[in-house]
Amino acid sequence: MTMHLETRAIHAPAAALNGSRPVSVPIFQTSVFAFDDAAACARALDDPEAGFAYSRYANPTTSALEAVAADLEGGAAALATSSGMGAINAVLLGSLRPGDHVIAQRCLYGGTFAVFTELAARYGIDVSYVSGRDPAEVTAAASDRSRLLFLETIANPTIAVSDLPALIAAGHQPGLTCVVDNTFATPVLCRPIEHGADIVVHSATKYLGGHDDLTLGLVISARGEVHRPLWKHTVDLGVAADPFAAWLTLRGLKTLALRMERHCASAAQLARGLAGHPAVTRVHWPGLPDHPDHATAARILAGYGGMVAFDLAGGREAGLAFVARLKLAALATSLGGAETLVLHPASTSHRQMDQASLRAAGIDEGSVRVSVGLEHPDDLWADFEQALAGL
């Protein structure tokens, strides 16, 4: 029977026990598994599907999460890592060699941008940045050394929406591995593998966990031949997810679809209120008709997302003053939880960028990023309105 995503996210696989089965996947909080047979132990170390030997290689709780994540994204297999950056580093370090070339969209999460900068300095891996809107830029940037195209479905923090079908098709022409960070969209709003992506990464710390109480990353591969070498590299890199964090993520997935519906609805109300406020010069939310990616978002997303960004007329000083004046929304670096969180990217998440890099990425000095939570939207707007009035 074919089931909807909402149903599949709730019914994670759990092993049967003497004619019954646990409704919630158990937490296997163990580092090691004992064997009576040395050959069986060796097989488990070589192949995670042959059994469990050591939790850095595989663990029943994390394996259950990986199965659900692969299913929701439409992939062949998944890897759970210790964080979202662990997932990104596992993919990049496992896929690239010194002298390779990467094409990436210009506006990226600051941590990802920092990794690309380090790769260039340490390993001579060149990175060319493109807008994320024009596939011709990918074609023009590709060379014989190009190996990988890195995109974000919804960009952090400008909330730009990448034209995944066109960009991935352009990346595949010269044989690039196409990697998409789907953290902001989640598989509820977009499944990049359906648009041709080879690898999808998530910071499950965000929407998938959904409660600001775990740190975990996911790598989902479209094909088994992509997954297997990444699994081996992840084992050697030592970025395995903790079983308890994996269990918390499984718990969070049960309500993901419901939460995303509320996140999107409240983001719409907040974005429209901000768009009419005199202290705000621009609102970045793809559900607004004047957003440059509105048509793309309507085509590839099943909702416009719970992330909103906006620019304040007073620049950096106004941005810092605004986040300090909020009473309900919290100033914090993460996103995707039940609480509304705000951030001033130029001074925090994207502090690695100089002014020129910020401008090139489309990040204003007065930009504020908002992870719209699950509070009543009227309460949230009242908080934003009083903070804006103080400017």
CB 162 within 8 A of CB 137: no
176 dihedral zone (left: phi>0; alpha: psi -120 to 50; beta): beta
Residues belonging to the active site:
56, 109, 181, 206
Q: Cα–Cα distances in Å, from 100 out to 30, 200, 246, 321, 330?
A: 39, 20, 33, 43, 41
Any idea which residue has 């975990």 for tokens? 216
**Taking the CA atoms of the chain, what radius of gyration do you get in angstroms?**
21
For residues 147, 124, 349, 253, the Cα torsion angle rounded to the nearest 10 degrees is 40
CB 330 within 8 A of CB 305: no
Name the maximum alpha-carbon separation found in the chain.
Answer: 72
| Tokens of residue 185, six digits | 């969209």
